[in-house]
Amino acid sequence: MSPESADGQIIRCYEAGSLTYKVALPAGLRSEAIESLELVAEAASRCNTEKSDWPNGVNNRPLAQLNPPDNPVISPPQTAPGRVYPTDLRVTVNGVAIAAQTLPDCPADARAILTYAYALGREDWGAYGYLVRGKLEGETLVRALRGAPAGEPMELAVRFEVPAGAAHKGGLTLFGARRGRYPSDPAVIVRLK
């Protein structure tokens, strides 16, 4: 999975693989003061030409020329009943699972209000995702925060992964606050006791 992004608002990856965000927590915050960690992100699979029904391409140009895997430039096909491209997503924080779900598709239609408002002619017209949420508390939280050196700022490694052994290896699209359907960057919310 080689992430690509024109402006950091949509990160696209094909097939299986992972990408990791490093999140530094405020200096002086002790793990004992944390009640829970909550993940909120908008994500979808990432299709290339898999959902396309344009056998002759667009404007008499083959799709392989218009949208080669190493340089995707056209928008995904509009959402249509029965035409889906799922992917299995697993999210971990410092190696501890916080969320796992099958994202049913790489949808593109009028629900992508933020993409339409901010993309301004760039690729991915109409692209949006599904809300991914998860929470760590209790023993799973303790395991995720274990190993932070005393007195050192804690860092969270938030890993988004489409496992190589997954049933659905449909890539991954992560949306920022100015793309997709939900006005939020991928976030970890730290709830204090």
pLDDT the model gives residue 35: 97
Q: Is residue 86 part of a domain?
A: yes
Please state the rounded mean pLDDT for residues 48-52.
61
The string of pLDDT tens digits covering residues 92-143 is 999 999 999 999 998 988 888 888 787 765 667 788 999 999 999 999 999 9
pLDDT the model gives residue 123: 62
Residue 154, pLDDT above cutoff 70: yes
Q: Is residue 99 part of a domain?
A: yes
Q: Is residue 113 part of a domain?
A: yes
CB–CB of 1/172 below 8 Å? yes
Residue 78, pLDDT above cutoff 90: no
| Phi-psi group of 17: left, alpha or beta (phi > 0 → left; psi -120 to 50 → alpha; rest → beta) | left
Residue 42, pLDDT above cutoff 70: yes
Q: Is residue 1 part of a domain?
A: no
- Mean of per-residue pLDDT scores for the chain: 82
Q: Is residue 164 part of a domain?
A: yes
Q: Is residue 70 part of a domain?
A: yes
| Least confident among 67-71, 72-76, 127-131 | 67-71
Q: Is residue 4 part of a domain?
A: no
The tally of domains found in the chain comes to: 1
CB–CB of 12/44 below 8 Å? no
Q: Is residue 5 part of a domain?
A: no
Give the pLDDT band (50/70/90) at residue 50. Answer: low
pLDDT the model gives residue 186: 95
How many C-beta atoms surround the C-beta of residue 61 within 10 A? 11
Tell me which residue range forms the domain holding 59. 10-192
How many C-beta atoms surround the C-beta of residue 150 within 10 A? 5
Residue 157, pLDDT above cutoff 90: yes
Q: Please tell me the distance from the alpha carbon of residue 40 to that of residue 29, in angstroms, as a whole number.
A: 21
pLDDT the model gives residue 142: 93
> How is residue 176 annotated by DSSP?
-
Residue 55, pLDDT above cutoff 80: no
